[in-house]
Amino acid sequence: MPKAVAAVKSALAILSWPLVFFSGLTGAHFAFSGHYPMVAFGAVYAGAVSLLFLLERIIPYEQSWLQSDGETANDIAHTILTKGLVELAALAGVIFPMLAARLLQPIAAMQFSLWPSEWPMIFQASLAVVIAELGLYWAHRIAHERLFFWRFHALHHSVTRLWVINTGRFHVIDSLFKVALSQIPLYLLGAPLQVFWWLGAVTAFIGILTHCNVDMRTGLFDLVFSTPRLHRWHHSKDISEGNTNYGENVVLFDQLFGTYFNPDRPSSTDIGIKGQIAPDFLSQLTQPFTKDGVRQILGHHPKRS
């Protein structure tokens, strides 16, 4: 490889994570300031996905992950029709504010005005990320440690390669469980709509970064954020490696609860599950609700407590 090309690829490996993350948040700032914030944010998000798709072909982490696994159509369907709709509704701040106000009257009655709305938005958003992360961490950890919840979460872990397109491969029940545990506390504290927007934006950009097949050198970012390096360990078939790094956006609670895992070696490419996931989109949604489907998902998977 020519030295100039090698130098460019090395620079991209160092700069790509902060470039995508911070440029994405900058784009979100302008999107949220406009007349059609969700539409504008969608365009920013699509741009970030496109950039990562290109980087996957310039500096892939695992060359074999560029080959099709036959799941692209399912991945896109889950991204748009299940995870995508849940996240869009969450980003718009309509899931739990709406449900709490209209359907969950006891929760609505408990709402407090404790949110520091006078703080600059960057500090409000940072606080929201930390508060929501506690719920996201435990929702994710529970999904690995309790078989009932694993039946829904296994769909996400069934992939045999990581790339930006399967970021949104989640069962709708799994997504709703995470949103519930992360957003209800913010609603009860009286967080305004824009805080939900910013939480959704951070989660969206971290999500595509953690799943992308890009050889990124994340260094000190690994100590704070959920990064591709850390998340590849989380997808490992080896349970001692896979049942770690539950953080969705930041790794604060992995550090506190002893589930942070970042050994000094390249992160795993042997990913997937030992169970079997249905082959098509609709069957993947219904599989966790049938006895035979649950048996296929759980039957060959190491027992979780």
> Among residues 219, 230, 182, 186, which one has the least CA distance to residue 203?
182
pLDDT score of 305: 33
Q: 250 φ, ψ to 5°?
A: -125, 160
Q: CA 172 → CA 43, 144, 179, 206, 266, distances in Å?
A: 23, 16, 10, 19, 32
Q: CA 247 → CA 106, 110, 166, distances in Å?
A: 30, 28, 18
Do the domain assignments include residue 250? yes
pLDDT at 216 over 80: yes
pLDDT at 304 over 70: no
Q: 5 falls in which pLDDT band (50, 70, 90)?
A: confident
Mean pLDDT value across residues 55-83: 93
Do the domain assignments include residue 53? yes
Q: CA 12 → CA 47, 60, 134, distances in Å?
A: 17, 11, 32
**DSSP states along 78-89:** HHHHTHHHHHHH
d(CA 111, CA 238): 42
pTM: 0.90
Q: CA 81 → CA 17, 175, 234, distances in Å?
A: 27, 12, 25
Q: Are 197 and 32 in contact, with CB atoms under 8 Å apart?
A: yes
Structure tokens at 235: 């997808």
Do the domain assignments include residue 68? yes
DSSP letter at 268?
P
pLDDT score of 83: 76
Predicted confidence (pLDDT) per residue in 227-248, tens digit: 999 999 999 999 999 999 999 9
Give how many domains the chain has, as a whole number.
Answer: 1
Mean pLDDT value across residues 81-89: 74
Q: Quick check: helix, strand or coil at residue 243? A: coil
Do the domain assignments include residue 261? yes
Q: Are 127 and 115 in contact, with CB atoms under 8 Å apart?
A: no
Do the domain assignments include residue 303? no
Do the domain assignments include residue 159? yes
Q: 134 falls in which pLDDT band (50, 70, 90)?
A: very high
Q: What range does the domain containing 125 cover?
A: 3-298
Do the domain assignments include residue 305? no
C-alpha torsion 197→201→203→207, nearest 10:
150
pLDDT at 204 over 70: yes
pLDDT score of 301: 46
Do the domain assignments include residue 304? no
pLDDT at 303 over 80: no
